[in-house]
Amino acid sequence: MGLLTFKGGIHPDDGKSLAKDQPITDVLPQGNLVYPLSQHIGAPATAVVKKGDHVLKGQKIAEAGGFVSAPVYASVSGTVKAIEKHLNPTGSNVDCIVIENDGEYNEVEYAAGKSLEEMSREDVLQAIGEAGIVGMGGAGFPTRVKLSPKEPDKIEYIIANCAECEPYITADYRRMLENTEELVSGMRVVLSLFEGAKGIFGVEDNKPDCIAKLKEATKDEPRMEVKALQTKYPQGAERQLIYALTKRAINSTMLPADAGCIVDNVETLIGIHHAVIDGRPLTERIVTVSGDAVEKPGNFKVLLGTCQQELIEAAGGFKKEPKKVISGGPMMGFAMITLDTPVTKTSSAILAFQKDTVEECTSTPCINCGRCVEICPSRIIPSRLADYAERHDEETFTAQNGLECVECGSCSYVCPAKRPLKQSIGSMRKIALANKKKK
C-alpha cells in the first residue's frame, strides 16, 4: 500500500535541513512588545487596558470582541505605552497595544487548574476560549469555535496536523520531538470533548523520528493513532489532510465537521494543553528563523508581541543583506516590507532570502502544458481560471469552480510560463466570495 495522501501536489526543495537540528531556544525581548488586537479570523479583540496601566505577564489586555474572536494576553510585565496603529506581518496597519517591557517578567498567579476529569465540557471550552487559543498554523480561526460544532456527537476524528508541509519551517518538527507529552496531552483534552472520536496524528514521512516518538508516547492511548503521510506539498492543507487520513472529501462549502473531523495543528494542541491543564493563557509560540540570508537559522520560543527584528538578531543577524523576508512559509507566507512588525499567534516562521526568485521570473504566455492541472490539489484548471480572473469574468470563474481553490500556490510554483496564477485566482476569489455574501 502506498502512503496516505491526496491527488496532485508538488515537491519543492524543502530547505528544512537549515534549522531542523536546532533545538528550541528562548528569546527574551529587548524592546517594546506590540500586540495586534486582531491576530485571528473574526471580530477584533477589545482593549481592556489603557495607556499608562501597569500589566503583569499573563494578564488579559484585550477581551474577545464577539463569539468568533479571541482575547489577547500580555507576554511580559511592563507599562502600556500606547494603543495605536502598527504594521502587522501581513502588511496591514492595525490597532495594537504597545507595552514597554520592564524586564521583570512578573507573572499573574494562575488559578490552580482542575484535573481534566473534574472539568465539564463547558469548562474545557471556556478555558480554551479564555486562553486566547486560535489556529496557530496560519489561519487563526478561534479554536473554541472550531471545537463547538453544531453536532458534537457526529465528530469521529480529531486530526492533529503534524504534516508541516511548508518548506523551511521546522517549528512543529521541534515541538513534536521536544514537547511530545504536551502535544499528546492537548489531544487528550480535545478527545475529552468528543467521546466517540479517535485522535489521529498525521505526520509526513520525512519526519520518521517524530513518528517514532509519537508512537511511543501514544502506545497506551487506545483512542490515539499515528499515521505516516506522503511528503508532499500541500499535505497539511485541511481538506487534503482530511482526505489522506479518512478518504472523506469536503469542498469549499463544507466544514471539516461535515466529514466528522476537526483539525488542529501541533502548536494549537500544545496551546490547548497549557490552557486547560496548566490554566495558562497563550503568550508564546515557536518560530523558525531560517533562509539563506540568516547567519544561524534556528527554532525559537518567542513571546508573542516580540519585534521580528529581534528574532533575526537572535538568529545571529543577516549574513548577507536579504532581498526578501517572509512571514510564514515560502508557499503561503507573506512578504514583509519591514522587520518592524510583531510576532503574532499565527507567525510560524521568518524566512530571509538573499535572492528573490519571483523577481527573476518574467511571465510569458500560457502554453497549455497542463502542469497546473496535474498538480492542483483542488482538481480545477488553474490556467483557465486565471484567464477568467484576469478578464474579470466572475460568472465563468465561479461556474468553473474557481471558489474551490485553496490558494496553496502550487500552480504558480510549477508554471513554466511563470504566470502568477495563484495571485490572479486569489484576487478573483476574494471578489466572488464577497459578492456571494451580499446575495
Partner 1 sequence: MNGKLNVSSSPHIRDKVTTSNIMLWVVIALLPATFFGIYNFRHENAWLLVVVTTGTAVLTEYIYEKLMKKPITIKDFSATVTGLLLALNLPPTLPLWMGALGSVFAILVVKQLFGGLGQNFMNPALGARCFLLISFTGRMTYFVYDGVTGATPLAELKAGEAVNSMSMLLGTIRGTIGETSVLAIMLGAMLLLLLGIIDLRIPGTYILSFVIFICLFGGHGVDPQYITAHLCGGGLMLGAWFMATDYVTSPITKSGQIVYGVCLGVLTGLFRLFGGSAEGVSYAIIISNLLVPLIEKVTLPKPFGKGGER
Site for partner 1 in 139-168 (CB under 8 A): 167
Choose the stretch contacting partner 1; rule: CB under 8 A; options: 5-13, 35-43, 341-349, 429-437.
5-13
Nearest CA to 147 out of 10, 8, 285, 271 is that of 271
Q: Which is nearer to partner 1, 212 or 367 (CB)?
A: 367
> Which three-class secondary structure state does DSSP give residue 41?
coil
Closest approach of Cβ 397 to partner 1, in Å? 13
Stretch that binds partner 1, among 97-105, 208-216, 296-304, 376-384 (CB under 8 A): 376-384
- Looking at 6-14, 18-26, 141-149, 154-162, which segment touches partner 1 (CB under 8 A)? 6-14
Sheet strands side by side (includes 324-327) = 25-27, 298-303, 284-290, 349-353, 324-327, 334-335
Asked if 412 is part of the footprint of partner 1 (rule: CB under 8 A), the reply reads yes
Are 48 and 65 in contact by the 8 Å Cβ rule? The answer is: no
Q: Which is nearer to partner 1, 158 or 259 (CB)?
A: 259
Question: Are the C-beta atoms of 306 and 154 separated by less than 8 Å?
Answer: no
Instruction: List alpha helices for 17-117, DSSP H.
Output: none
Give the one residue of 35, 73, 243, 388 binding partner 1; rule: CB under 8 A.
243
Counting contacts by CB under 8 A, is residue 91 touching partner 1?
yes
| CB closer to partner 1, 126 vs 354 | 354
- Whole-Å CA distances, 198 to 16, 172, 191, 241, 265: 30, 21, 7, 15, 16
CA 399 to chain centroid, in Å, comes to 30
CA–CA dist 41, 134 (Å, integer): 9
From 94, 156, 401, 432, residue interacting with partner 1 (rule: CB under 8 A): 401
Q: Which of 81, 223, 301, 418 binds partner 1 (CB under 8 A)?
A: 418
Smaller CB separation from partner 1, 66 or 370: 370
User: Of 192 and 396, which CB lies nearer to partner 1 in the complex structure?
Assistant: 396
Q: At what angle do helices 208-217 and 171-178 cross, to 10 degrees?
A: 40
Q: How far is the CB of 409 from partner 1 (least distance, A)?
A: 3
In the complex, least distance from residue 162 CB atom to partner 1, rounded to whole angstroms: 21
Best CA proximity match to 90, nearest among 341, 290, 345: 341
- Binding partner 1 (rule: CB under 8 A), the pick from 6, 35, 201, 397 is 6
- Judged by CB under 8 A, the number of residues near partner 1 is 71
Q: Which residue has the cell 514597554?
A: 100
Q: Are 121 and 193 in contact (CB under 8 A)?
A: yes
Is there binding between residue 431 and partner 1 (CB under 8 A)? no
Beta strands in 174-214 (DSSP E): 198-204
Q: Residue 59 has which C-alpha cell?
A: 494578564
Closest CB to partner 1 among residues 126, 427: 427
Of 249-278, binders to partner 1 (CB under 8 A) are: 249-252, 254
Chosen residue from 378, 386, 388, 389 binding partner 1 by CB under 8 A = 378
Cβ nearer to partner 1, comparing 254 with 431: 254
CA within 13 Å, CB half, 157: 23
- CA pair distance 143, 281, nearest whole angstrom: 13
Q: Check residue 379 for interaction with partner 1 (CB under 8 A).
A: yes
Scanning 23-31, 148-156, 300-308, 418-426 for contacts with partner 1 by CB under 8 A, the matching segment is 418-426
What is the footprint of partner 1 within residues 31-90 (CB under 8 A)?
none
Nearer to partner 1, 69 or 383 (CB): 383
Q: What CA–CA distance (Å, rounded) separates 113 from 408?
A: 40
Indicate the residue among 30 and 368 with the shorter CB distance to partner 1: 368
Q: State which residue, 100 or 394, has the beta carbon closest to partner 1.
A: 394
Shortest reach from residue 300's CB to partner 1, in Å: 19
CA distance 156 to 160: 13
**Which residue, 17 or 251, is less far from partner 1 as judged by CB?**
251
Residue 296's SS3 state is coil
Cell of 80: 502600556
How far from the centroid of its chain's Cα atoms is residue 214's Cα? 21
Helix or strand (DSSP H, E) at 378:
none
Q: Which amino acid would we find at residue 166?
A: E
Subset of residues 314 to 373 that bind partner 1, contact rule: CB under 8 A? 318, 321-326, 330-339, 353, 356-359, 361, 364-371, 373
